[in-house]
Amino acid sequence: MSDATQTIEVPQIYLITPPEFELSSFPDRLAACLDAADVACVRLSLASRDEDRIAKAADALRQVTHDRDIALVIDSHIQLVERLGLDGVHLTDHARSVRQVRKDLGDDAIIGAFCAASRHDGMTAGELGADYVSFGPVGETPLGDGTRAELELFKWWSAMIEVPVVAEGALDIDLIRALTPHTDFFGIGDEIWGSDDPSSALRALMAAMT
């Protein structure tokens, strides 16, 4: 059998919540996605700074994720990880706080670091103890400063670095198809939550991996 026929190892799905959602309906939408696809992790990524609001959201999503043995991490709010019974934190300050957060949360917590498009920051985060490094946005978006994490970054990382990598931000079918051989996870959020049927939208994106 030719090597060309060998199956590419498919990246795992890392779901990212919308920045705002209705507690009355979103947990069910999330549950449908988790039941429709093999999801490795969910990130609670609320824009709100209201601790009570975040806590209620975390409680609702923790029930959904932990019932399915799926990790739930939170965006940035380090102090809430242990208080809310979450599995870890996704840091957005590149590599700056990884060392201290690892010391504070211990070895068992999941610590991820968003490093935009910086190879150097990604390497530093990995060396300091991050469990994964996230690069993005990979697609065109009016948000941020316009800098994209290009395909070449993922090709280099997957060939040279053992720390798992997440590709996220403005993904589409063509980008997923191109990045599949070079990333460990796809961080998917806004790409599906605007759909009337997020689970079907998720399956459509996953189909591009094969």
User: Is residue 2 a part of any domain in this protein?
Assistant: no
Q: Using omega within 30 degrees of 0 as the cis cutoff, is the peptide bond preceding 19 cis?
A: no
Alpha carbon distance 116, 122 (integer Å): 9
In a domain, 1, yes or no: no
202 occurs within a structural domain: yes
Segments forming the whole domain that contains residue 169:
9-207
157 found inside a domain: yes
Residue 15's beta-bridge partner residues? 42, 188
Whether 42 is covered by a domain: the verdict is yes
Q: Could you report the per-residue pLDDT of 96-130, keeping only the tens digit for each?
A: 999 999 999 999 999 999 999 999 999 999 999 99
27-48 tens-digit pLDDT: 999 999 999 999 999 999 999 9
Say if residue 1's pLDDT is above 70.
no
Both tokens of residue 4? 């060309």
Residue 8 is predicted with a pLDDT of 58
The total number of residues written for the chain in this structure: 210
79 DSSP assignment? T
Is residue 112 in some structural domain? yes
- pTM, full prediction: 0.94
- pLDDT at residue 69 greater than cutoff 60: yes
Token digits of residue 76: 């940035």
Task: Please count the CA atoms within 13 angstroms of the CA of 67 that sit on its side-chain side.
Answer: 13
3 occurs within a structural domain: no
Confidence of residue 137 (pLDDT cuts 50, 70, 90): very high
Q: What's the CATH number where 130 sits? A: 3.20.20.70
Number of domains in the chain: 1
The mean per-residue pLDDT over the stretch 83-98 comes to 96
In a domain, 4, yes or no: no
* Contact predicate 72/61, CB 8 Å: yes
